[in-house]
Amino acid sequence: MSTRHRVRRRVILGAVLLGSVGLVAMAMVGTGAAARTSSLLVVNVSQKQTIKDMLNGKFVEVVTCRRACSTTTVALVPARAVQPNLSGAAAEKLVVIASASAKLQANRATKVTLRPTKLGRTALPRIGSVEVIGRVNGVSRTSKSDTGSANWTYIMKRR
């Protein structure tokens, strides 16, 4: 395993905290930094959401920004989930199946609905269950240099 993959895995695993109510991802400030209380974003994804919810536009994440910010979210799956005949490095690439963007007020939890992409609308009905990786990026609207990101992982089932 290359150093790049180890660092990415460490960053993703360090950012994801499993809670009894849902998946909580604390924002990462800078590359490889630990989650901090002064971070910009906090993201919560309910464990009860399904592929059917994603297709119907009902897959929701709750995002809170410490300062007024703009966020962009992408939901990624391995390419082999979309095209089972892939192998090798091509199968390990991540493809976007849903995305969302929102402008948030400071310290207010906001529901952000992920909308499936064209690829997601065609591929998700054929998938039984899949591990989804969510990446949320936020930029403060008052200071463009104040940024944060959060990652979450979730095994999404059909129903």
User: Closest by alpha carbon to 23, among 52, 65, 59, 68?
Assistant: 59
Kindly give the residue spans of alpha helices, DSSP state H, lying in the chain.
3-15, 51-55, 79-82, 89-92, 118-123
**Which pLDDT score, from 0 to 100, does residue 84 have?**
73
At the top level of CATH, the class of 3-157 is mainly beta
Residue with tokens 């150093």: 3
**Which pLDDT score, from 0 to 100, does residue 99 have?**
94
Average pLDDT per consecutive 10 residues, the chain (159 residues; last block may be shorter)? 43 35 40 42 89 90 92 89 73 87 93 92 85 91 88 84
Cα distances (angstroms) measured from residue 112 to each of 4, 53, 58, 90, 121: 30, 13, 10, 30, 19
Percent of the chain as helix, strand, coil, to the nearest 5: 20, 45, 30
**Which pLDDT score, from 0 to 100, does residue 5 have?**
43
To the question of pTM greater than 0.85 for the whole model, the response is: no
Report the b/e string of 124-137 with b at 16+ CB within 10 A.
Answer: beebeebebbbbbb
**Which pLDDT score, from 0 to 100, does residue 115 have?**
93
**Which pLDDT score, from 0 to 100, does residue 110 have?**
93
**Which pLDDT score, from 0 to 100, does residue 116 have?**
92
Taking the alpha carbons of 30, 111, 97, 25 in that order, is the dihedral positive or negative? positive
